[in-house]
Amino acid sequence: MREISIQKNEAGQRMDKFLAKYLNKAPKSFFYKMMRKKNITLNGKKAVGNEQLKQGDVIKLFLAEETIENFIDHSQFSKKKASSAKKQTAGKKVQLDILYEDEAAVFINKPVGMLSQKASPTDTSLVEYFIDYLLENGKITEEELHTFHPSVCNRLDRNTSGIVAAGKTLQALQGLSEMFRDRTLKKYYLCLVKGQVKENQRIHGYLVKNEKTNKVTVSQKKPAEQTKDGKEASTIHTEYKVLARNRETTLLEVHLITGKTHQIRAHLASIGHPIAGDYKYGNRSFNDTLKKKYGLRSQLLHAYRLEFPENCEGDIKQLSGKIIKAPVPALFEQICKAQGVM
């Protein structure tokens, strides 16, 4: 017999989902059968699998230890552990820039050049660094990683810097992710753009993504037809405020109302004000000048502020009304000061 006590970071998920992670080699039919026969119970009672687990709940497996072990793929976890260890010892160790942390959530100032999440199996991303940070500081155990993997709740492009939210518990991860989806969380960016923007504005458009090139196009009018892969254009809304300007550049605060792939970069480029350093959507000669003068090799786009609503609940209730800010990278600040807009 084995007894499993549900920890805070495992709470909030269905019992059958938890069992599928814990007994990761067992077919679902097995643990449903065991629940029917009361060989797997929840808090001493018969379970069906759709129960929402709470912290302190106790699952008992009335099974032989050999049977339990046969249904757990330890090698799957060992590979992740080995990969993490290899990353820690190879090259320069990464020190995360933690902006805010509580028992359930962490907000990190992601640097330019770091992936938010893996693009391929061989990548190392902020997620892996975040898990290492939690392990090293005793905020999660290796055993707990069997049934819950802390992760990030929003993604920034590799060469966009700024705030990335991460959940240390399942409830926080779910709550933050929902806020990003339903837009109850306000997201603000800073960017330096080409040209003189004269007034604050809220603009809208229609965005279509090309999956093959990972590039989007923005138009002011809705395309009459669907794309070749059958996807319709997404409606996008972007609001910006002029903070400072000169004849050649403008520093903008951008409120990202909708959140689509490359939205800010493509939307501003579509109205004639591409972001400095953005070779995918920007002006090459303008970018080459900044590259030669300052060594700029990435877009000057920074996710610098998050504003939470007053009614956060559950594991993230302590974030109610909170404002989190991230300082801009040194090169961003240097170029803006040289341009006289900061």
The secondary structure of 59-81 as a DSSP string is EEE-S-HHHHHHT--HHHHHHHH
Pick the range with the lowest mean pLDDT from 45-49, 61-65, 108-112, 141-145: 141-145
Task: Give CATH 3.30.2350.10 domain extents, the chain.
Answer: 92-181, 186-338
pLDDT beyond 70 at 229: no
The helix (run of H) or strand (run of E) holding residue 191 is: strand 186-194
The amino acid occupying position 209 is K
User: Residue 294 has what pLDDT?
Assistant: 97
User: Residue 89 has what pLDDT?
Assistant: 32
Which residue, 275, 277, 301, 304, is CA-closest to 289?
277
User: Residue 12 has what pLDDT?
Assistant: 86
The structure's pTM equals 0.83
Burial of 299 (0-12, 13-18, 19+ CB in 10 A): buried
User: Residue 202 has what pLDDT?
Assistant: 96
Residues contacting 114, CB < 8 A, separation 6+: 125, 126, 129, 158
State how far the alpha carbon of 7 is from the alpha carbons of 12, 31, 54, 147, in Å: 10, 21, 8, 10
Task: Tell me the mean pLDDT in the region 182-193.
Answer: 96
Share of the chain above pLDDT 70, in %: 92
User: Residue 93 has what pLDDT?
Assistant: 73
Phi, psi of 105 (to 5 degrees): -135, 155
pLDDT beyond 70 at 87: no
Residue with the larger pLDDT of the pair 214 and 159:
159
Residue 310 and residue 114: Cα distance in Å, rounded? 32
Catalytic residues: 157
The amino acid occupying position 152 is V
Q: How confident is the model at residue 253 (pLDDT cuts 50, 70, 90)?
A: very high
Q: What is the CA 223 to chain-centroid distance, rounded?
A: 30
Domain 186-338 superfamily per CATH: Pseudouridine synthase (3.30.2350.10)
Read off the tokens for 288: 């080459």
Task: Tell me the mean pLDDT in the region 37-49.
Answer: 95
User: Residue 82 has what pLDDT?
Assistant: 40
Residue 62 and residue 60: Cα distance in Å, rounded? 6
Q: How confident is the model at residue 210 (pLDDT cuts 50, 70, 90)?
A: confident
Residues contacting 11, CB < 8 A, separation 6+: 53, 54, 55, 57, 169, 170, 171
Sign of CA dihedral 31, 32, 36, 41: positive
Does residue 10 contact residue 20 with C-beta atoms inside 8 Å? no
Task: Give CATH 3.10.290.10 domain extents, the chain.
Answer: 2-70
Q: How confident is the model at residue 296 (pLDDT cuts 50, 70, 90)?
A: very high
Helices 15-22 & 28-36 angle (0-180, nearest 10)? 120
Q: How confident is the model at residue 214 (pLDDT cuts 50, 70, 90)?
A: confident
What would the pLDDT profile of 20-32 be if each residue is shown by its tens digit?
Answer: 988 989 998 999 9
Yes or no: is domain 92-181 CATH 3.30.2350.10?
yes
Averaged pLDDT of the chain = 90
Residue 238 and residue 210: Cα distance in Å, rounded? 20
Q: How confident is the model at residue 92 (pLDDT cuts 50, 70, 90)?
A: low
User: Residue 77 has what pLDDT?
Assistant: 53
The helix (run of H) or strand (run of E) holding residue 87 is: helix 74-89
Burial of 44 (0-12, 13-18, 19+ CB in 10 A): exposed
Residue 184 and residue 308: Cα distance in Å, rounded? 7
SS3 237: strand
User: Residue 76 has what pLDDT?
Assistant: 55
Domain 2-70 superfamily per CATH: RNA-binding S4 domain (3.10.290.10)
Task: Tell me the mean pLDDT in the region 57-77.
Answer: 84
pLDDT beyond 50 at 88: no
